[in-house]
Structure 1
Amino acid sequence: MATELPSGTVKVMLIGVELDHPGRRAMEALKRAGGDMVTFKDARNLQEVESCFTDIAVSIKRTVIPMPAQTPSDPSEIPFDPSAPIQKKSRVRYEGTASLAGGRVSYGDIGVVQKRFANNKFQVTFCGRTGVPTCHLNIAASDLAPDADAEKVRTGSLVRVKKSRVATPSFGVGAYREGMVGYVVRQDENDGESLCEFGLGKLWKGTLTDLELVEPDTNTSRPLQVGDAVQAINASFGCGPVNMYDLGYICERKLDGNLRANFPGKNKWTGRPTDFVLDTVATQIGPQTRVRIRNGVKNLPGGPPRGSVGVVKNIMYDASKVTVDYGGREFTCRLADLEPVGGTNQATPTNTPRTTPPSSRPQSSTPPTPRASREASASSSSSPFSVGDIVETHGTSKAIYNNRTGRIEGKDTSSGRFLVVFIDDKSTLPPRGLFNAENLKRVEADIVD
């Protein structure tokens, strides 16, 4: 018996019934000659012959007759379209008319996209709330809209609770009061759950649906508030590990009027309001801000070429680390190293002290003189050095500062010392310092002599 298969080949089955020895040998010889295209069955009775034909019929049905395609119970996952407005990890707003998941998700709630499916749906993760767990829902693209504001609410963002959510935030109102401004300290990138610092003594938990972005206020005459980027210009209660002109974030206003700030290496550093000054450049930087290396900052090891523009992804709560995306390449640096694109390229304004910390720390209760005053003093006729002079250090109490070449950038009138930024190749040593006049000598004068 021969069976034609879809490929055009022929499968041969040889069936023998109660064959004697010579007959069986003849059939086996034919099978060997036919190779894989021939099978042989030695039936002992009619029932086995019938069974052979049943097997043939089943084989034909499975091989030749096409079976209807099975529709999978779940749609297949497909890659994201790079040109589409919704991508993996996009923050989207639900705009469907019906509530989902038993009322857990309703119109206006914001979630994070995880997957894209072939049936034009997306898997979206919505953060839970008190008594309700996080949920993952497949939602039609027509019921979702990208939320540009939620994209900017990330670690380091200046935020407040939306008016519509003040009374009923996801995890309870706690000590929060309407209008309070703070910043995001930590955030879960999968569902947007955020821990925020509002100066309440403990972190406040909320969701992307609860929070809205706050535009930075660079008015230096207003009182400082939680979330402001500030520099330390004095130390009324002692320096600790904080250096003069270190950059950090205000995290609390105490009942006695004093402020606390998070600096690199020191959380909740306490000072009087006069110990801080608003950094009007750093205050403008948040997630999604376009930035470049700040004017006056030396090229950073492994950093982008000067003038390159990147986009901030997130900022550490103490300003110690900013992650910037330069066209798919991530780079990390300090907040003090960056400036927003479109901002001034001039020197730091006179009402804002320098952002690069000298090696010394504040010792007195008198605030340091702003940069413009220091430069004017350094350039006066009574001063042995002028701004821009190239000098060499010697005779200091610390050997690491001796025999180094630098440039005069100003003079601190409170101490009478000169600010020197080193221009030698000793990158592992401190980049700047304050020095007395007797510890400096002008390099050009030695060359002329």
Structure 2
Amino acid sequence: MAEAILGDHDQYSCSICLELLRDPVTIPCGHSYCMSCINECWNTNDQKGKYRCPQCRHTFNSKPPLNRSTVLAEIMEKLRSTESAQSLAGPGEIACDFCSGEMIKAVKSCLECRASYCETHVQPHYNVPALKKHKLVKAAVIPVCPKHDKFLEVYCRTDQKCVCMHCLLDDHKGHDTVPSTIERNEKQIKLTHSQTNVKQTIQAKEKELQKMKMDITSHSDSAKKAVENSKKVLSELVKLIEKKSNEVIEEIKAQEKADLDHGTKLQKKLEGEITELKKREGVLEDLLQTEDNIQFLQNYETVSSSSGSDELQSFSFQPYCSFEDVRKRICELIGRLETTCTQEISKTVNKVSDLSAKRPPFDIVVGERVRVKPSVVTPIHKWGSVTHLSVGVVKKIQGDLLTVDFPEQRNWTGVVSEMEHVSGAGSDLSTKNGPFDIDVGDRVRVKPSITTPKHNWGRNVTHKSVGVVKDIKDDDSVVVDFPGHANWKGILTEMELVTNDDDEIGPSSLDSNIKIGDKVRVKPSVVSPTHKWGAVTHKSIGVVKKIQGDSLTVDFPEQKNWTGIVSEMEIVASADSEIQDESLIVDFPEHKKWTGLVSEMELVTSTDLVDIKVGDRVRVKSSIITPKHNWGGHVTHKSVGVVKDIKSEDVIVDFPNHKSWKGILSEMELVNYSGQLLKDVCFFPELDFVCHQHAIKILSLSVFLQTLTFQDPPRL
């Protein structure tokens, strides 16, 4: 009944105040009003003795009697109670788009209407045949294209993002695109597989935990039995051995405590891993239950990158002492003479002590992260691919030997006394326990333990060479830009990170002839200097002001106190720089016969003559690693935006995913509507003018095409 009332909400509104009827009355013509509203309307009527219905204009010669409609009053009470039962939208919740006044919490969103509805206003979507075809989902913000204000229906695999149909004709033209449903199905299969792996891992860990609990209980029972047996046997001995008896008992209890502490530590670690895995399963379950394809795809990368199943790390409780040996030793004492009791009990106590001595020093246990001590020049069992910087996980301990899994070498054998703990926090380079801690942009070199890299040294690359990681492939290969060899290919496991504190190992200023006062420039082979370009380019020539270790400070005409790396610089021969201080005369359009210095000028090629104006489509140059005002938002080298404003050397650009982005004119380049640089339109200098005119015509046509509205946009 309430739903039927709610469906006819407008029928119960007063046509004078437009609110729900209060003290409803029905006049003879059949229309209903609030009693106060109709009285006020008729009291202000100028026609003497005439009373009209505000809706149908029916005229009454005398004022009709106004009696309260009981049925309507009851309906109004039910309607108001139904409305009050709906909860208001709180912070972060979706409000109904059709409720006036208080914002009622929405329960459903319609992907066709692009609106959200409360329980009241969603009813037409269940009752009206035309609206039944609309797709309703759980109330949520409906994602739309920020550029075209259209639904996001397509997934662009090229740019890894959701786009609308109009984007297929614009920024994503020619890209690898598929409907969002297809992409979700493919990714859902992968995510389901990941969830299965997590469940299997949880089951395996739970089995380990159960076995560990049983082993700990059994060991504890064994210790208790050993204590009871020792008490029984030793209590029968004379006072002569009473002192030794207490010593044995104390040794057993101490050993039990140490073993139980060790078992408890492993148990807590295993329980912690199971808890984390269950949390991860919950996150995967929530994402798999997401009804909205777009929300699923937008959250997929974040969840899937952290939902992989790690390699199972086996835990087992291995006590360092078996009390069965103690029990046997004590039983042997029963038939011995009193004169030998002291000697035999001493042997028993020594036996417990010997077994306890097998505990690894420094309390190293299975599952902990270790490395070779810096004081160890060469391990007893040799280095292999391991170095002092290698950090691995203890896999097995047997006596004084232990087996460690290093990223560089699995099942490495070492001696416990040669190893040291690596804390989980605070370690700098040494805390990195795998090659995947190397990221794009890091400074790296080939490990000293690598005699010949898998892909060979290449030209000018040595153990002292320090380069910048340019790319990391899925097959664990890495592309590095070394000062003497760009795009060098290697393997992650062969590389190690280099920090500013490693100058004594890496290349130093001693390897170069550069001195203070020399004129230098960045080597052509250096794609991006370690300390970034700033205003400096490959053409910039400056004077070395200071050298400290592998770093140097250079005064360039474009930028003073620029910091660089010695190995990235080269000396400019006198032939290249002898005219730097000479004057020259230039005819500018604004100033004829202008006088300047050669060192203050730079060459301008035909490609530099492209003038960026408001309204032009631009992107960040590929040579710019990090813009002066940072990337911000989702701006990348592939992002193409429209120039909104130009202030001196600053430019304001509207990108699809970042409005009013601020950059530098010198960092930007023009892009036509096919994604090609304007400077690439012209192939011959003598045809620049003709080609530029054609480019303008093409761009104008592209702008016109963009303004067209497609009633039936093409679908995949």
Q: Answer yes or no: same fold by TM over 0.5.
A: no
TM-score, normalisation: structure 1: 0.30
Q: Which is helix-richer, 1 or 2?
A: 2
Higher relative contact order (CA 8 A, sep 6+): 1
